Amino acid sequence: MPDIIRLLPDSIANQIAAGEVIQRPASAVKELMENAVDAGASNIQVIVKDSGKSLIQVIDDGSGMTETDARMSFERHATSKIRTAEDLFVIRTMGFRGEALASIAAVAQVEMKTRTADSELGTLLLIEGSEVKKQEPVAAPKGTSIAVRNLFFNVPARRNFLKSNPVEMKHIIEEFQRTALANPEIEFSLYHNDLEVYNLKKGKLSHRIIGLFGKQYREQLAVCREETPVMNVRGYLGKPEFSKKTRGEQFFFVNKRYIKNAYLNHAVKIGYENLIPDDCHPFYVLFIDIDPRHIDVNVHPTKTEIKFDDERTVYGIIKSAVRQSLGAHNIAPSLDFSHNANIHVNLDTGEVLSRDFSTRQDYYDEKAALLKTEKDRNNRLNWDRIYEFTNPSLERSGIQHDWNKKDEGIEVRLSSAANDMPDAKNEFEAGQTRMTFQVQNKYIVATVKSGLLLVDQQSAHERILYEKYMSALAHKPAASQQALFPETIELNPVDFTLALDLKPEIEAVGFVFDIFGKNSIIVHGTPVELEGENIKKAFEGLIEQYKLNKSELSLNKRESMARAMAKQTSIKAGKALTGEEMNSLIDQLFACANPNYDPNGKLTFAILDTEKIDGFLNR
């Protein structure tokens, strides 16, 4: 039998490697930005077109490369960043595998211009699918510019696999944010389709955060700082009330390298314990400085995963740092945190020993208890209000009732009564006046043929609006009301891109808007349901709810939009309604294709027939 094993040609080996390193335009953005940082640049410009699908260009004013280095840089395993195996364990640069440029050049058309400070002419290199097409001297500023065109032009399967422009742009913006956060001493700018997305001056980390996420973050940041013999933690935490339903805007950097680590994320969340609801996520930007010997960054080609040799200690220190920071900022009433209380780590067991750790635990227990009493008190307040509304005469006469108890009893039976799905459409008698009233400003009660109809006003309205918006999205756009004073809204770049992509859907549900400068839109018209409401809040709420529906329920565009709008514009529990409004709501509900459930699958109504009423009263 002849020998059959052969070495793969470089171009194929590079393409295979590219599959690991370059998954989408954002990966190329990340690698090119990191190279620019490693080259000591003080200004880095990122230019993309079509969410990076047609162009990604990164221009830096760093060291530049000699002619030979320029050529070498595209070879696989060509790197200037490690020389000996020992170097691997003390990596401080972003790159070191020497794979990025080779991988990018294997799957795109790349043009590099580069010049070092001490040479007069620079080098121009054109490479397409790993093949050098041109190499010649060129006049160029000091530094390096790399333009990557038509990514995956020669790997159609990959190119077809790319997501929509807003999704790819979201990934690019996220990579940009990570690199920009890790390097506030460098100026960065980002342009998409000739529109400026970011233009960041150099400065402190807090300025960088505000530059990236918006002015409203200024008031919301709490400093977090902890120094221990094992590692240092520094950065900022968002105040608890600033937490959001959608995850994101959570950044961990280890030795300036962005990492994803669910375990450490959990440590932060636990640090916030009791201060934010379970389904909310805090904002944070935290930097861990640790001796590179205690970590292994080499576990994943895209290098966002990392191994610590002692993860439990790192966890404990972070949790404790977060608690201390929130306490020290009086975000939670501070008991006896001493501001520079050092955390003592037992290096043998990894246990975190802090001298007031037990006090802190006590404090959090107490905080939990406090929150609970607060809740009870609020509940009581509500009950007082109901008592006042429904029984003014009783109140005046001073008769005391345990309304709380009584109502709980009824509620239990009502939910069981709702199990057999009633068909309420036959319950209304033509021409008969329907008696209605509201309970707790939450439920509508109406008299019907067989007894009492109980409607959850918010669920019912969400159902009505959901069907209306679904039909608006399918064929006939919803009515829009021209705004008296058009409002400009500044969005974050991710939401801005999303809003532009969703323009047809957003307009179908009644918002009319145009681009209005950098990351801004101007809203000329709003859905009629939003009359008198804060436009900015409603629009932002819509985008937020849309993202939540999309990510958590994986709904399609229309579903996500219709549900988000229904939720955003519905009558909420707590709103007092007139008799006319109640009747109209009931009529509209039963005109729905599926009146029984709201879009979240909750029952919209139940019928309490005479039989059940008899049961309650033991007849």
| # of chain residues touching ligand ADP (CB under 6 A) | 23
- d(CA 224, CA 242) in angstroms, rounded, equals 16
Partner whose footprint covers residue 287, from ligand ADP, Mg ion, none (CB < 5 to 8 Å by kind)? none
Q: Does 60 bind ligand ADP (CB under 6 A)?
A: yes
Among 345, 359, 355, smallest CA distance to 315 is for 345
Which residue's beta carbon is nearest to the bound ligand ADP?
95
Q: Does 35 bind ligand ADP (CB under 6 A)?
A: yes
The least distance separating Mg ion from the CB of residue 21, rounded to whole angstroms, comes to 9
Alpha-helical (H) ranges within 296-398 are 311-328, 357-390, 392-397
- d(CA 42, CA 39) in angstroms, rounded, equals 9
Please select the residue that binds ligand ADP; options are 29, 39, 124, 542, rule is CB under 6 A: 39
Partner whose footprint covers residue 595, from Mg ion, ligand ADP, none (CB < 5 to 8 Å by kind)? none
Q: Is 362 helix (H, G, I), strand (E, B) or coil?
A: helix
Phi-psi region of 422 (alpha: psi -120 to 50; beta: other; left: phi over 0): beta
Q: Which residues, 6+ apart, have CB-to-CB distance to 240 below 8 Å?
A: 272, 275, 276, 282, 326, 331, 332
Q: Does 62 bind ligand ADP (CB under 6 A)?
A: yes
List the interface residues with ligand ADP, window 283-342 (CB under 6 A). none
Piece in contact with ligand ADP (CB under 6 A), picked from 2-10, 93-101, 256-264, 603-611 = 93-101
- For 141-186, the DSSP string reads -SEEEEEEESTTTT-HHHHHH---HHHHHHHHHHHHHHHHHH-TTS
Piece in contact with ligand ADP (CB under 6 A), picked from 96-104, 163-171, 274-282, 490-498 = 96-104
Q: Does 97 bind ligand ADP (CB under 6 A)?
A: yes
- d(CA 173, CA 179) in angstroms, rounded, equals 10
Partner whose footprint covers residue 495, from Mg ion, ligand ADP, none (CB < 5 to 8 Å by kind)? none
Piece in contact with ligand ADP (CB under 6 A), picked from 9-17, 31-39, 351-359, 459-467 = 31-39
List the interface residues with ligand ADP, window 102-121 (CB under 6 A). 102
- d(CA 539, CA 503) in angstroms, rounded, equals 12
Among 178, 184, 182, smallest CA distance to 204 is for 184
The least distance separating ligand ADP from the CB of residue 111, rounded to whole angstroms, comes to 13
- For 38-52, the DSSP string reads HTT-SEEEEEEEGGG
**Binding map of Mg ion across residues 87-126, x = CB under 5 A, - = no contact:** --------x----x--------------------------
Please select the residue that binds ligand ADP; options are 25, 45, 91, 95, rule is CB under 6 A: 95
The least distance separating ligand ADP from the CB of residue 201, rounded to whole angstroms, comes to 21
Q: Does 79 bind ligand ADP (CB under 6 A)?
A: yes
- Enter the DSSP assignment of 110: E
Query: Tokens 């038509």 belong to which residue?
Result: 150
Nearer to Mg ion, 104 or 424 (CB): 104
Partner whose footprint covers residue 545, from Mg ion, ligand ADP, none (CB < 5 to 8 Å by kind)? none
Q: Does 73 bind ligand ADP (CB under 6 A)?
A: yes
Please select the residue that binds ligand ADP; options are 78, 138, 335, 515, rule is CB under 6 A: 78
Piece in contact with ligand ADP (CB under 6 A), picked from 75-83, 127-135, 243-251, 493-501 = 75-83
Partner whose footprint covers residue 240, from Mg ion, ligand ADP, none (CB < 5 to 8 Å by kind)? none
- For 561-615, the DSSP string reads HHHHHHHHHSPPTT----HHHHHHHHHHHHTSSSTTB-TTS-B-EEEEEHHHHHH
Nearer to Mg ion, 35 or 568 (CB): 35
The least distance separating Mg ion from the CB of residue 360, rounded to whole angstroms, comes to 43
- d(CA 39, CA 66) in angstroms, rounded, equals 13
Q: Judge whether 555 and 548 are in contact, CB under 8 Å.
A: no
Nearer to ligand ADP, 56 or 565 (CB): 56
- d(CA 172, CA 46) in angstroms, rounded, equals 10
Partner whose footprint covers residue 80, from ligand ADP, Mg ion, none (CB < 5 to 8 Å by kind)? ligand ADP
Q: Judge whether 474 and 501 are in contact, CB under 8 Å.
A: no
The least distance separating ligand ADP from the CB of residue 71, rounded to whole angstroms, comes to 10
Partner whose footprint covers residue 458, from Mg ion, ligand ADP, none (CB < 5 to 8 Å by kind)? none
**Binding map of ligand ADP across residues 137-176, x = CB under 6 A, - = no contact:** -------x--------------------------------
Q: Which residues, 6+ apart, have CB-to-CB distance to 37 below 8 Å?
A: 44, 94, 179, 182, 183, 186
Positions touching ligand ADP (CB under 6 A) are: 31, 35-36, 39, 60, 62-65, 73, 78-81, 95-102, 144
Positions touching Mg ion (CB under 5 A) are: 35, 95, 100
